[in-house]
Amino acid sequence: MRQLLCLLALLPGLVQTAAAQAQQAPVSEVASAPVASGVSAAHSSAVSRYLTQKFGVAKEKATQISQAVTGAAKKYSLPPAVLLAIISIESRFRERAHGANGATGLMQVVPSAHRNLLHNKDLTDPDVNIDIGSSILYGYQRDAGGDLNAAMKNYGGSKAYAEKIRMRAVEFSRVLDDASAPAASDAPATLGLAASVFAAAVTSAAASAPAVAPSTASATSAQAAVQEAASGRAR
């Protein structure tokens, strides 16, 4: 019984420790994991579904494009919504699209204007095209002293084009924001971890009690205390 009372006294610490561990784990995972993990994986998945529903892109191709955009956005420190907006305007996510002056692929890269970046690369490959297109946009931004608006203007050749990108980017930002929203079950899962740790400790204490083991009612009361304390912390 004394052991049970001691465990009840330690409950707040157990809950706090479990909550802290649950919060810290995703941070370290996202920091060390590859692009398609953690929040980035959620973004890629959400974008992939949106491309399939909105633009009729095949699922496998949509996944490839969304992951390529996520990777390029991270590599060149560019907003993924802007890259998606440019692709939707330039090619509507058709990797074999061709335009004026030989513009090719998703981001309509013009080979004659960017020979130094191509080196015989296949611009109809989504991964290649998105990487090169993003590199071009990044170069424009760097030359403009970090001004993304100026970079978008240079990419399309006009202020109207830059404005069109901004408007379209809002649409994709909503998709990304929805993917970033925390799941409603996150808090209960965290608190459930603390409750599980404590329940295991209670069971261990009951098994090792020499004479007076806690009754079923006592165990039920202990679990109720766990839930009440966890509920209070969740609020």
pTM for the model stands at 0.62
Residue-range definition of the domain harbouring residue 131: 57-180
Claim to verify: residue 136 and residue 78 sit in the same structural domain:
yes
pLDDT of residue 11: 46
On whether residue 43 sits in a domain, the answer given is no
pLDDT of residue 179: 82
- Give the Cα separation of 108 and 85 in Å (integer): 13
Which segments in the chain show pLDDT lower than 70? 1-39, 182-235
On whether residue 34 sits in a domain, the answer given is no
Maximum alpha-carbon separation in the chain = 89
Claim to verify: residue 90 and residue 160 sit in the same structural domain:
yes
pLDDT of residue 190: 40
Claim to verify: residue 194 and residue 176 sit in the same structural domain:
no
pLDDT of residue 182: 61
On whether residue 16 sits in a domain, the answer given is yes
What's the per-residue H, E or C state across 55-117?
A: HCCCHHHHHHHHHHHHHHHHHHCCCHHHHHHHHHHHCCCCCCCECHHHCECCCCECHHHCHHH
pLDDT of residue 115: 84
Write down which residue in 180, 198, 213 finishes a domain.
180
The number of domains in the chain is 2
pLDDT of residue 192: 44
